Amino acid sequence: MNFVPPIGRTDWTRDEIADLFDLPFLDLVARAHDVHVRHHPENEVQLSTLLSIKTGGCAEDCGYCSQSVSADSGLKAEKLMDAGAVLDAAREAKAAGSGRFCMGAAWRSPKERDMPALLQMVAEVKALGLETCMTLGMLEGDQAERLADAGLDYYNHNIDTSPENYANVITTRTFQDRLDTLERVRAAGMNVCCGGILGMGESRADRVGFLHALATLPEAPQSVPLNALVPIAGTVLGDILKDVPSARIDDIEFIRTVAVARIVMPESMVRLSAGRESMSDSTQALCFMAGANSIFTGDRLLTTGNAGGNADAVLFDKLGLISMQGDTVRAEAIAAE
């Protein structure tokens, strides 16, 4: 295809991104695959594990989230996990083939009393040889610096949707609040993990705006998780969309979004995240063709189900994919699951 977007470009326009979405589907996927293999090893997919280290009771009102105090999902608030239990889970994840271990807490922002335990978790998981990632809500500058000093490789803080659609999803913090935390993460020297959720009733123009917001950050996120909404009863969006299936994103449009993300952020890891358990093998295969090169493995993502390691092993075998362990490849990790 000979299409090579400049590395590090952050001046994409919305019209350019909209034009990519409008390409014939096969042309778009072929172009995205060409970009992908120029910047990433072929047929390698990073395995990541996501653990909820503090579940429920979040003060934010995110319309998609069962962990919000605003949701009537029946999920009970729990305390922060013990660092030893987190380390045990990290060891299991590494043994199953994961190269990155992500820890998520249902908070608006971490409290000072929890910082020592969080820093211990980061340092001890890092010592196992795993990439470390946390998502803890909004951060102050000193919190970001302390996490970085402890060895945190990535900080996840999703923008969720386009700036224009944001207030339809969350009202307890602004889009700019999100950007401010991302700036503090970059300033502390950590890698940014930032993506969003598709299928929340948004328009294609919102998907264009979402990817435009990511691709025009001062630096593209090193990791871009793309979630397909899992409607959960008792959440605002779950209750609205359960009876409006047409509002959810279809597989072709989801793959289009993966492909455009790969083109406008050629060096980023593009991760298939929530919603993958309901995707067919064919849909996932096309996502990998379009440039996705990271997945969450295991049976659970925070509070929602996931495909699980055995299903991933079968799929990888079908597609001839191998797992990525940091900068090295370990095909045995998939075979052993």
User: What does the pLDDT look like over 247-259, one tens digit per residue?
Assistant: 778 999 999 999 9
pLDDT tens digits, 104-134: 998 889 999 999 999 999 999 999 999 999 9
Q: Which of 31, 65, 100, 173 is catalytic?
A: 65
Tell whether the model's pLDDT for residue 330 goes beyond 80: no
Q: Which residues contact 75 (CB under 8 A, 6 or more apart)?
A: 55, 56, 66, 67, 303
Alpha-carbon separation of residue 174 from 142, 143, 156, 170 (angstroms): 21, 20, 17, 8
What pLDDT does 237 receive? 80
Tell whether the model's pLDDT for residue 333 goes beyond 60: no
Q: Which of 31, 100, 102, 207 is catalytic?
A: 102
Q: Which of 62, 146, 194, 276 is catalytic?
A: 62
Tell whether the model's pLDDT for residue 5 goes beyond 80: no
Known active-site residue 133: yes
Q: How far apart are CA 316 and CA 323, in angstroms?
A: 8
Q: Which of 173, 178, 184, 271 is catalytic?
A: 271
Q: Locate tokens 């995707």: which residue?
A: 279
Known active-site residue 287: no
Known active-site residue 194: no
Residue 212 CB neighbours (<10 A)? 20
Tell whether the model's pLDDT for residue 335 goes beyond 50: no
Tell whether the model's pLDDT for residue 305 goes beyond 50: no
Tell whether the model's pLDDT for residue 284 goes beyond 60: yes
Q: Which of 31, 100, 133, 287 is catalytic?
A: 133
What pLDDT does 78 receive? 82
Sign of CA dihedral 288, 315, 43, 229: positive
Spatial contact of 213 and 259, defined as CB atoms under 8 Å apart: no
Strand-pairing partners, residue 58, are 68
Residue 19 CB neighbours (<10 A)? 12
Tell whether the model's pLDDT for residue 329 goes beyond 50: no
| Range of lowest pLDDT (10-14, 38-42, 230-234, 288-292) | 230-234
Q: Which of 58, 194, 207, 287 is catalytic?
A: 58
What pLDDT does 236 receive? 73
Q: How far apart are CA 135 and CA 329, in angstroms?
A: 26
Q: Which of 100, 173, 184, 193 is catalytic?
A: 193
With pLDDT > 70 as the criterion, what percentage of the chain qualifies?
88
Q: Please report, as a single letter, which amino acid is at residue 64.
A: Y
Region 177-190: what's the mean pLDDT? 97
What pLDDT does 221 receive? 97
Q: How many CA atoms lie within 13 A of 29 on its CB side?
A: 16
